[in-house]
Amino acid sequence: MQIDASSAELAVQAPAKLNLFFEVLAKRSDGFHEIETLMCPINLYDTLYFREEPGGQLELKCQWVPGVSANHNSQQDARTSSGDEADAEIEDLPNGDENLVVRAVKLLRERTGVRAGASMRLAKRIPIASGLGGGSSDAAAALAAGNEVWGLGLSPNQLAKMGAELGSDVPFFLAGGPAICRGRGERVETIAGVGTLHFVMARPPVGLSTAAVYGACRPARQPRKIAPLIEALLQGNLNEIGRLLWNQLQPAAERLTPWIGRLREAFAREDVLGHQMSGSGTSCFGLCRDAHHARRIARRLEAGGAGSVFVVQSCR
């Protein structure tokens, strides 16, 4: 997450994420699942613009960046500039309490007693219902922005505890960098020393409900170990990283939509080092040797009708 406070309007770059490892360990008594996952932020960003409003009102306007929509985006290098975002508002982006950004800011005010308001604009690039964590990242950006603009001085740990009340992935986006997440995802252990990873990612023209995917998944009887993948990451062994990618949710998602199987087969025809679905889907990704390799595979996937295709890399 990157914060730019150089102008009167604070800008926060909220990254997407990929799950390089995802194991479902058990169903919990609170209705959630006990998981162990390794998440990696990538340089595909939503941008939250945040300005203080002394009158106390909260206002949010959501919009897709020009050329980007909820279900389609042509092949692109996901690194973006902070240029003009004034596109027409899209109806499928909520602006009220159903948006995690608004809920995050309201929670922050409730816990700190802040009376000031905020005018916010959310420029969307991360596809929705795609397993990329866009909503959670936006919520984390809202907490970080409110903390900065309102001068609250809350620690990252304090913000993460609030974030966990909003969504399981929110604390991850407040941590920065690759991390192992446990519990229902809110217990975050960052990993230092991981080099840059390059990916090609495809998001089909359909999304999946996270609840539906979990409902169709059964916890592993013999859970896979995450340690070998961590070792490969720290050694920079790309071939081994590709071999150890794992997502226990993928078979369940394949039963809910034929698109996951189609993407699995499309990636299998390419010379990626490994491939799988991210989170609860529907985005799938392939690990590449470098950015040139990723761009070459992206052109082939897009020509084959794989949906929205992105060239991305890991970031901090």
Catalytic entry in 46, 124, 138, 169? 169
Task: With CA atoms as reference, report the closest residue to 285 among 230, 257, 247.
Answer: 247
Kindly give the residue spans of alpha helices, DSSP state H, lying in the chain. 100-112, 134-149, 156-166, 170-175, 210-216, 227-235, 238-244, 250-256, 258-268, 291-303
- Has 271 been annotated as catalytic? no
Q: What dihedral do alpha carbons 203, 26, 268, 16 form, nearest 10°?
A: 30
Report yes or no: 54 and 117 within 8 Å, Cβ to Cβ. yes
C-alpha closest to that of 307 among 106, 123, 71, 122: 71
**Which of 4, 17, 97, 138 is an active site residue?**
17
217-44-40-3 Cα dihedral, nearest 10 degrees: -130
What's the Cα-to-Cα distance from 173 to each of 127, 230, 282, rounded to whole Å? 17, 19, 20
Axis-axis angle for helices 134-149, 156-166 (nearest 10): 140
Between the CA of residue 285 and those of 35, 171, 182, 250, what are the distances in Å?
A: 21, 23, 22, 12
Helix or strand (DSSP H, E) at 56: none
Give the three-state DSSP class for 227.
helix
Tell me the C-alpha distance between 37 and 271, whole Å: 25
Note if 84 is an active site residue: no
CB count in 10 Å sphere of residue 303: 10
Give me the torsion for CA of 196, 171, 167, 101, rounded to 10°: -90
Active site residue ranges: 17, 169
